[in-house]
Structure 1
Amino acid sequence: MEELGATETAEHWDRRHRQLGALRSGGDAGYDEASNEIFYAMRLGRLIDIVGDRTEQAAPLRILDAGCGKGYFAHAMARFGHAVDGIDLSEHAVELCRQNATGNSSFQVSPLAQWQPPYLYDVVYSIDVLFHIMDDALWEASVTNLATLVRLGGQLLVVDHQSEVDRTWSYYQRTRALHRYQSLLEPLGMQVDRFVPYGFRGAPTGFLVLERVA
């Protein structure tokens, strides 16, 4: 099984975003449109459960959607009144995000490991992205960089499996064990708060919720 490198991964997702519809391109290509509708709604519901239901226009949460795809979650968070930055490797997806932008939102083409804004975020989330980074060094750099963008008391939400071992599922999907995240992020002042499973059709995927405590 030949795994995708960084360049091949970027090309794969740009091609997928160009070829598949708004939901299947960033959802599960094995599901039909109706199933993906439910899948997106459930993930958004879990995200709201974690982030909370505040909608203060005068003092919005500053949020980073890391790997925003065509913007389903970023657009929703912007509609809720938050200030949202979205980044993705796919130029096609980012252009669509800009065309459909709403509220206080901005979208840029950038790798997760290289995004360096002039401010910190209240919430950084990366939904169904990190387990598509096959190269361990790039995965570590991406996770580490996202953690450095979270303010004190802020949250980092990363989607993976709740597992004690790494597992390679295909040429473009590798999940990492909990201890991998802990060893990387605890020295950066991040503390694991909880794991929130999607609860969608028995899949082990969910949000690993971390908080910056130092």
Structure 2
Amino acid sequence: MSHTTGAGREAFTATEARTYWDRRHAESDDLASGGNISMSRAENAMFYAVRTARLLEVLGTQSDPASPLRVLDAGCGQGHFSRAIASFGHRVDGIDTSEVAVAGCRAAAGPLESYAVSALQDWSPSHLYDVVVSIDVLYHLMDDREWEASVRHLASLVRLGGRIGLVDHQADADRAWSHYQKTRAASRYRAVLEECGMTVERFVRNDFRDDPAGMHVAVRVA
């Protein structure tokens, strides 16, 4: 079901959103397709570098070739963060609803990378993860039911003692910015994650220019 956003346009349905992102991945370069379309390629390269550094705050700086972390990159797009995670020595699964993006990821995949077409709430792996991350994805889910189901499902895929990192804003209220972007209050993330047996540890800000986004980080305790 669609609804009118603050910008006065009908919000994307799930089907419309998938069509939009498939087209964007097909027509945009590897950085702009999942980055900030108002930035130049050089600016997006800097933005990705900053966010990769923030990602390390969630993954940690240890790497053991004999026992790599299992990581899920939920909404991997064209695989920039998945490839970075694999380069750190971790085993990563990347999922995305865009067949175009996943095809490109598979073509360039290394031995520690695996990719599949799947919505966040539908992914059904044979194992739990040490870390689950979803970067710049959840605030593109316009339907609140799909958003909550996705957060709950991703949390269910984290092993005891494992972590989850979900990118959104750290705001006190929900806000629809456009027909394909809606941020949710930090209190909503905390409430859902705590109901799923997790403790929210911190919010890791991107800290790139005036970007207000960052990662809600939680650990499974039950």
TM-score range, shorter chain: over 0.9
1:76 matched to 2:80? The reply is no
Cα distance, 1:49 vs structure 2: 2.1
User: Given the alignment, which residue of 31, 48, 56 partners 2:39?
Assistant: 31
Supply the AA of the counterpart residue of 1:160: D
Where 1:159 maps in the other structure, the secondary structure is strand
Where 1:194 maps in the other structure, the secondary structure is strand
1:184 and 1:155 map into 2 onto residues whose CA distance is: 15
Cα distance, 1:91 vs structure 2: 0.3
Supply the AA of the counterpart residue of 2:47: F
2:145 and 2:66 map into 1 onto residues whose CA distance is: 40
1:51 and 1:104 map into 2 onto residues whose CA distance is: 16
Supply the AA of the counterpart residue of 1:107: Y
Contact in 2 for aligned 1:81/1:103 (Cα 8 Å): no
1:136 and 1:27 map into 2 onto residues whose CA distance is: 23
Where 2:210 maps in the other structure, the secondary structure is coil
In structure 1, what is the equivalent of residue 112 of structure 2? 104
User: Given the alignment, which residue of 124, 128, 149 partners 1:116?
Assistant: 124
Where 1:123 maps in the other structure, the secondary structure is strand
In structure 1, what is the equivalent of residue 4 of structure 2? none
1:94 matched to 2:102? The reply is yes
* TM-score, normalised by the number of residues in structure 2: 0.95
Cα distance, 1:50 vs structure 2: 2.1
1:64 matched to 2:80? The reply is no
1:200 matched to 2:208? The reply is yes
* RMSD value, Cα: 0.7
In structure 2, what is the equivalent of residue 131 of structure 1? 139
Contact in 1 for aligned 2:163/2:219 (Cα 8 Å): yes
1:28 and 1:172 map into 2 onto residues whose CA distance is: 13
Supply the AA of the counterpart residue of 1:44: T
1:80 and 1:203 map into 2 onto residues whose CA distance is: 26
Cα distance, 1:164 vs structure 2: 1.0
Once structures 1 and 2 are overlaid, which stretch shifts more, 66-75 or 44-53?
A: 44-53
Once structures 1 and 2 are overlaid, which stretch shifts more, 99-108 or 154-163?
A: 99-108
- Structure 1 runs (4+) greater than 2 angstroms displaced: none
Cα distance, 1:204 vs structure 2: 1.1
Identity of aligned residues (%): 54
2:189 and 2:85 map into 1 onto residues whose CA distance is: 26
* TM-score, normalised by the number of residues in structure 1: 0.98
1:81 and 1:74 map into 2 onto residues whose CA distance is: 11
1:184 and 1:195 map into 2 onto residues whose CA distance is: 16
Cα distance, 1:85 vs structure 2: 0.2
Aligned residues: 214
Contact in 2 for aligned 1:61/1:123 (Cα 8 Å): yes
Supply the AA of the counterpart residue of 1:41: A
Contact in 1 for aligned 2:54/2:204 (Cα 8 Å): yes
1:175 matched to 2:186? The reply is no
